[in-house]
A = this chain, B = another copy of it.
Amino acid sequence: MKTVDSKLTDVQVTDNFWSNYMDVVINEVIPYQWAALNDQIPDAPPSHAIKNFRIAAKEEKGEFKGYVFQDSDVAKWLEAVAYSFETDPNPELEKTADEVIDLIGRAQEESGYLNTYFTINEPDQKWTNLRDHHELYCAGHMIEAAVAYYQSTGKRKLLDIMSRFVDHIDSIFGHGENQLPGYPGHQEIELSLVKLYRVTNNKRYLNLSKYFIDERGKTPHYFDIEKQKRGDEKKPWWTDEYGSYSYHQAHLPVREQKEAIGHAVRAMYMYTAMADLASETNDQTLKEASKRLWENVTQRQMYITAGVGSMSHGEAFSFDYDLPNDLCYTETCASIGLVFWAKRMLNLEKDSQYADVMERALFNGTISGMDLDGKKFFYVNPLEVWPKASLKRKDRIHVKHERQKWFNCACCPPNLARLITSIGHYVYSADQNEAYVHLYVGSEGELDIGEQKVKIVQKSNFPWDGNINITILPEEEAVFTIALRIPGWSKGAILKVNGDVIDLNDDVKKGYAYISRKWRKGDEIHLNLPMTIEKMKAHPNVRGNIGKVAIQRGPLVYCLEEADNGGNLPSIYLPLNSQLNAHFDKDFLGGMTVITGDAERLDDYGWDEQLYQPAESKRKPTRIKAIPYYAWCNRKPGEMLVWINEKS
């Protein structure tokens, strides 16, 4: 049975937590990025992105400037803008977006080709370096923008532009005569082609995505073939036991890949497409590969914040259980990619482990990438920060202890913008007979359960409180199933329908509580997820976390900051039996639940000038205050720590 995702137009987000983020994106991030794309930020180096399109359209003179993937910034902006209209229709912004789309149309070549770098600077070098240049990557982002814009405005123009470009791409790649048997160096177009197929129903787009996925990793390696053609003799900068291909996840055919490796964002985007294709084509080997890779990432290579990519070198995965807290890369975009992938895995099979990870990423490792004002951004989301080390040690230079202004990192902020404006996409899904509630996000959803139109109204104060009230409003009373995710972190959940308790022992399957009945307009579901404070442990193979605990409450991972707890945070010991208390502090950073409790702190009394001595550790009582991880670094800069020494 094919799952139909809730589309943007189906879900209106109403809850405080995400509405705030949406407001920040709509009022701060999107206008700022528009100014940036137009080189109107006084202190920032010019983006040149819009100008590149004007030059390509021959409406201005000049050279292409910026990264070879500069076009994708415009695409991500358009995509975020498209999603924003659902919450916040804005005719003026739509007019601006329409004009950008017109400009994109004028920058498109006669053949359908669209990439300002090559059109302007190297018209003869198109498709000669798929490994490093980002033609297909940029195409992918623009396709995503086109689909989003079509879905939110009904306007086909960008969809038609991109369909023309994809038709052209389809003619270039493949095994036919005069075709290139290539695939992108940065995966992205694969997942976008599935989206394009879903709105156009043009099977060629699905097949092209499948072609790119199937072709990847075959020998001889296409990257070698094109390299030889170019006469390029440069040694690749990335190398491991698989050579240089693994950076791009092209070291093996995707169905033979068992461990996440290489650049984490590339990996996430590829796995997303694999899962999409597995469900669209019912490809069992692709499904198995997807599940294997999912298990590897989430059971071996994922931080508790849902950060992925533990190495700065290559912004990449390293190997199983290698999760150092102070050296990680854990790029914001990689956690965003993990959300994309999790959603596709949920399409493949309804298992709450996918939604659990999706939730973990949404409430921790993604939004940690932006400050609460939407003005500064992290590329890297570490779990332990010692500012002095970040400043002085080159091996930690990627671990910033303060978020950077937008203009220093063009990739993560717009990715966050499009994720946050589309948060409604992740809340529900519907099958022929079931509606699923994957996330607890206050919202109103219009779902098609088979033929039945059902409105679901969800209200809660999540993630601060686990009381979820859901009202079911079918167009007409009907028998169908509502499946509610019982999060992995919850213990003693209580589920009631119209006040009657549902026995969760019987009705929970793979983490979802299935309630099948005749639903009438106004039926009430109440789900209580007790939000206990958990002291989490990591698998004993994760060396950096041995002897340490992380505080988690509901979906939120907590951290200690120097602003609340003083310096040398690793010297704090949390007794395992320490009573921790959560309370909502409405005055703290706009209102959030903080956790306080008794702990101990190493005492340096008597150490004087010794560096080493045979000594008992002396500890003195201290109080700790932990705040949600995502909210760190919204006050004065300082140390931060997720994994706290335990006193056992």
Contact = CB atoms under 8 A, between A and B. Distances in A.
Interface of A: 240, 295, 298-300, 302, 304, 311-313, 318-319, 322, 327, 386, 388-389, 392-395, 534-543, 546-547, 550, 552, 568, 570-571, 573, 576, 602-604, 607, 609-617, 645-648
Contact of A540 (B388, B550, B571, B616): B571
A647 B573 CA distance: 13
Q: Which of A304, A538, A607, A617 has the most C-beta atoms of chain B within 10 angstroms of its own C-beta?
A: A617
6 tightest Cβ-Cβ pairs between the two chains A and B: A313-B394, A534-B614, A540-B602, A395-B395, A543-B570, A537-B615
Given A395-B312, A546-B571, A539 B617 contact: no
Nearest to A548: B547
B536 A613 contact: yes
Contacts of A299: 609-611
Copies of this chain present in the complex amount to 2
Given A322-B392, A647-B648, A302 B611 contact: yes
A9 to B, nearest CB: 36
A534 B327 CA distance: 32
A386 B607 CA distance: 31
A27 to B, nearest CB: 35
A536 B616 CA distance: 9
A538 B282 CA distance: 58
29 contacts: A240-B392, A295-B609, A299-B610, A300-B611, A311-B394, A311-B395, A312-B395, A313-B393, A318-B393, A534-B614, A536-B612, A536-B614, A536-B615, A537-B613, A537-B614, A537-B616, A539-B604, A539-B610, A539-B611, A539-B612, A540-B602, A540-B607, A541-B571, A541-B604, A546-B570, A547-B547, A547-B573, A550-B612, A552-B614
Contacts of A609: 295, 299
A154 to B, nearest CB: 44
A540 B610 CA distance: 10
A388 B311 CA distance: 14
Given A539-B610, A568-B540, A612-B537, A318 B617 contact: no
A100 B571 CA distance: 57
Contacts of A646: 617
Nearest to A534: B614
A319 B393 CA distance: 9
A568 B648 CA distance: 20
A456 B413 CA distance: 74
Contacts of A395: 311-313, 327, 395
Nearest to A314: B394
Given A540-B603, A541-B571, 7 more contacts: A240-B392, A318-B393, A319-B388, A537-B612, A537-B616, A540-B571, A540-B602
